[in-house]
Structure 1
Amino acid sequence: MRATVALVTDRYHHGDLRRALIDAAVEAIREAGPSALSLRAVAKGAGVSHAAPAHHFGDKAGLLTAVAAEGYDRFADALERAWEATGDFVEVGVAYVRFAIDNRPYFETMFRPELLHEDDPDLARAEARSRDALVRGAGELQPGSDFNPDALGAWSLVHGFAGLLMAGNFPQAVADDPEAALREIAKRTRFGER
């Protein structure tokens, strides 16, 4: 018993409990999805007491909100890097799909508002940042409109493509090279005209 307490105490004071809990949550999401996340499993994965996640994040939704906010920031980083490297709206869409593939636990959590605290200021800031990065290069708003139909259409296309890809709904040739498939789709749609 004493060794276990020492191990938990040692890990608990490793310096960044928040980081350890988010990392454990991401791993738990990778294994079972965001809906099945258990605070007890996260605590066990982080090597801390079962009360630590609730103490730090309040509840399951608080922890998932922190994961989603971090995911949106990572997402914005990926989209911004694509734009800065290429200046190509299509390549931002390709980066969107690549992010979904490479960061599935974050991606699956980010777009599940029913599991999150939507009024969280960090989440709102990170969502806005990723939205701004996504529509960069999509053109200006039409006079009298509060949304850009080109940006909305492109977002719908790449989000649907990513979701269908991750669910295994595409032929193997598309699954083997989703970036090439998305670029080909872009050539055949207005999405590629940006």
Structure 2
Amino acid sequence: MGKRPVLIGLTGNIACGKSTVARMLAEKGAYIIDADAIAHEVIRKGTPAYESILRRFGEEILGPDGEIDRRRLGAIVFRDPRAMQDLEAVVHPAVLEEIQRRVQACSQAPAIVIEAIKLIESGLAWACDTLWVVTCPEPEQIRRLVIERGFAEEEARIRVHAQPPQEEKIRHADVIIDNSGDLEMTRRQVERAWREWVDPCIHS
């Protein structure tokens, strides 16, 4: 029986740069499981989650194509913690099931990366071999949401403040990646963490 891949949990708050770090890990041969992308899939029209969300939030969350408009839905749940809980109760079980299926199906990569904003809160972090947290200062999060994702500044602040403080994630981290600088600075930190956590398993 061959060695199993190292299971890396990758998390961080909104606009801190999880996806940037995930792309760097993919370049090193890691298999990336993007929980946000899976969440897109499990709420598509015709799925059980779609029907449940529609019953809870109404047709005003739909786009012209009949699919759930995540921007509209986000405008509701980021302002209302109870609404967020209701949404997560529908979406999280379906996402967790698909993540587990993909982990079990992958055996060839040196590492599997589960990229998820709610990695710790969902309990998934404790199934991982190592937990990596990506950070950046709040003003930079807001700037990225405004410049790169087109949010109004007020909406960007609401989304940042709707999440638990970054310190709560950092407290559990094996690796902290500061993504407030340029890409080369981030890449150096990723390379160092890979050498510490993955290379010994590959070469043992």
More helix by share: 1
Q: So what's the TM-score if we normalise by structure 2?
A: 0.31
Q: So what's the TM-score if we normalise by structure 1?
A: 0.32
More strand by share: 2
Bigger RCO (CA 8 Å, 6+ sep): 2
